[in-house]
A and B are shown apart, each in its own frame.
Chain A
Amino acid sequence: MTTEVEAAVADAFHAEWGKVVATLVRLTGDLDLAEECAQDAFATALERWPRDGIPRRPGAWLTTVARNRAIDRARRATLGAAKAREVAVVEPGLGEEDEVPDDRLRLMFTCCHPALAFEAQVALTLRTLAGMTTSEIARAFLVPEATMAQRLVRAKRKIRHAGIPFVVPPAPQLVERTAAVLAVLYLLFNEGYSASSGADLVRRSLTAEAIRLGRVLCVLMPDEPEALGLLALMLFHDARSAARVDDEGDLVVLAEQDRSLFDAATIAEGRERLDAALRLGRPGPFQVQAAIAACHVRATGETDWAEIAALYDRLFEIAPSAVIQLNRAVAVSLSEGPEAGLALIERIPPDALRDYHLLPAARGDMLRRLGRRSEAAEAYRKAHDLAGTDAERRYLERRRREVSA
């Protein structure tokens, strides 16, 4: 097979998988059937496109093939009598081949329904909307494939048995339910982002999937400022990914990152998205976080820590949390000095971030800057013990040695 056709199928997969599945879910009301038919359609494409050429509208071609497959299956199922109900569901919608723009949005809300466990929401979104295989999802979340397969089967069964609808929620629930969709996308992004680069490409690919789905959501909900804010936030973080890790795979802290490695085009798109969000005039936590991330990717000059501290104040007003208190303390320590920062850290409720390595890490930095070296070493040691990745542990160990020397 020519690489050109292979690339076309791969492109179509990324662009069309979610659409084909969503359309088939509308037509059949059955998530499993929709996925199987979509899979068949892509397999058929791999067979036929090299021979017949790439169709002018790959998406429509794939949807038609998948739909015909659904009809075949329904016909065969009638012979088996037991599945007669499925046919009844399949028949009425047939004939409408093109995607209804809301299909994918409905499917997103179905996958991220609060009646499903959060981890099931995440897995379903990757399977049905991004087209990742069960084994890829399992590897990305570091669980055995059988566990992930079970999780997906259970979630789909619950959708069917409990009557979780395939609809965009009405106005009273829309804000809350949109927040659930955004939370799933942000978790996907963070899972991929926290994976050290190169170590596991499947995990890293979650950031790309999250951004891709974020873009889709912005097309489907153009008036939703938090969707734009989340996309901008992900883009700003992603723009720094080349600068985040050095050649040895060690973590480079923000202050030491080489700005020439930042991806200018991605930053520009992030700014566009953030501006569009802010123009809608309805602020929210993702927009504020994106504004903070925007401060960190400024091309030149000193980072404006006073502005960042002010934005954290804003964020704390909208969504108070101890993590925000900590980040604000760090920003203040860099704009007003380490003493002011330490005073703010002392105000964080002691139990709130007990297992969060970034709290002692931040304290260590402030103590180091104040010349309180032995206290700083102790804080770095504590942070090292709580850290979750090797890259972070190596970084904290280096810091500890510096102040212990």
Chain B
Amino acid sequence: MRYLLLIAGNESQMKSATPEQGEAMVNEYAEFGKTMAERGVLQGGERLRSVSDATTVRVRNGEVLATDGPFAETKEQLGGYYVVECKDLDEAIEVASKIPGARTGSIEVRPIWEL
């Protein structure tokens, strides 16, 4: 089964990290990506820019409305994602628990709606 692992964390906390902390985090993510790619579960994933760079688009009555910011103000913001292919939810949970962000933020595990 395929799952989307959404990485949520507190952006303002992340922005206050020192350059060393930031570099350590990038290295940890690189390590995670390498391990999971070797294991064959990783199908994709990206880090996202801050929600302050987000634009929300709606079409109402045929009119395109673009506004600044994410679609919901929340304590934790979406910071990145992975798409993984796992045997079942137990494996997806195990993979999610190894994402560095799981220790400071949270990971939402969403089964992909296969058509």
Whether A163 and B93, one on each chain, are in contact in the complex, defined by CB atoms closer than 8 angstroms, is: no
The segment out of A58-66, A165-173, A264-272 that lies at the interface is: A165-173
B70 at the interface (CB under 8 A from A): no
Does residue A7 face the partner (Cβ distance < 8 Å to B)? Answer: no
The segment out of B16-24, B47-55, B83-91, B99-107 that lies at the interface is B83-91
Whether A167 and B90, one on each chain, are in contact in the complex, defined by CB atoms closer than 8 angstroms, is yes
- Docked pose: A167 CA to B88 CA in angstroms: 10
Q: Are B87 and A165 in contact (CB under 8 A)?
A: yes
Residues on the B chain within 8 Å of A43, using CB? none
Q: At the interface, yes or no: B1 with Cβ under 8 Å from chain A? A: yes
Instruction: Please tell me if the beta carbons of B90 and A161 are within 8 angstroms of each other in the complex.
Output: no
Task: Kindly provide the distance from the CB of A397 to the nearest chain B CB, expressed in whole angstroms.
Answer: 46
B residues 33-89 touching A (CB-CB < 8 Å): 86-89
Residue interface bits A149-176, CB-to-B below 8 A is 1, else 0: 0000000000001111101010001000
Q: Which A residues lie within 8 Å of B89 (CB)?
A: 113, 115, 162-165
With a CB–CB cut-off of 8 A, which chain B residues contact A167? 88, 90
The verdict on B92 contacting chain A, using a C-beta distance below 8 Å, is yes
Closest to B86 in A: A163
A203 to B93, CA, bound (A): 35
Q: How far is the CB of A164 from chain B (nearest CB, A)?
A: 5
Question: What residues on A are CB-neighbors of B93 within 8 Å?
Answer: 115
Tell which of A161, A163, A169, A173 touches B92, judged by Cβ atoms closer than 8 Å.
A163
Tell me the count of chain A residues lying within 8 A, CB to CB, of chain B.
Answer: 10
- Complex Cα distance, B92 from A165, in Å, reads 11
Give B94 Cβ to nearest chain A Cβ, in Å.
Answer: 8
CB pair B90–A173 under 8 Å, yes or no, is: yes
B111 to chain A, nearest CB (A): 5
Contact assessment for A169 and B90 in the assembled complex, using a CB-CB cutoff below 8 Å: yes
Do the beta carbons of B88 and A165 come within 8 Å of each other?
yes
Q: Which residues of A contact B92 (CB under 8 A)?
A: 163
Report A173-227 residues with CB < 8 Å from chain B CB: 173
Smallest CB gap from B88: residue in A: A165
Pair A161/B111 contact, Cβ less than 8 Å: yes
- A120-170 interface with B by 8 A CB criterion: 161-165, 167, 169
Bound Cα distance A161, B113 (Å): 8
Interface residues of A in 347-396 (CB under 8 A from B): none
0/1 per residue, A102-125, Cβ < 8 Å to B? 000000000001010000000000
Nearest-neighbor residue (CB-CB) of A159 within chain B: B89
Cβ–Cβ < 8 Å partners of A164 in chain B: 88-90
Q: Output the least CB separation between A173 and chain B (Å).
A: 7
Residues of B within 8 A of A113 (CB): 89
Please indicate the chain B residues that have their CB under 8 angstroms from the CB of A173 in the complex.
90
**For the complex, what is the distance from the CA of A315 to the CA of B86, rounded to whole Å?**
39
14 contacts between A and B (CB under 8 A): A115-B89, A115-B93, A162-B89, A162-B109, A162-B111, A163-B86, A163-B111, A164-B89, A164-B90, A165-B89, A167-B88, A167-B90, A169-B90, A173-B90
The 9 closest A-B pairs by CB, nearest first: A165-B88, A163-B1, A163-B88, A163-B89, A164-B89, A162-B111, A162-B89, A161-B111, A165-B90
**A-side interface residues toward B, CB under 8 Å?**
113, 115, 161-165, 167, 169, 173
Known: A163-B88, A165-B87, A173-B90. 14 other contacts (CB 8 A): A115-B89, A162-B89, A162-B109, A163-B3, A163-B86, A163-B89, A163-B111, A164-B89, A165-B88, A165-B89, A165-B90, A167-B88, A167-B90, A169-B90
B: residues with CB less than 8 A from A are 1, 3, 86-90, 92-93, 109, 111
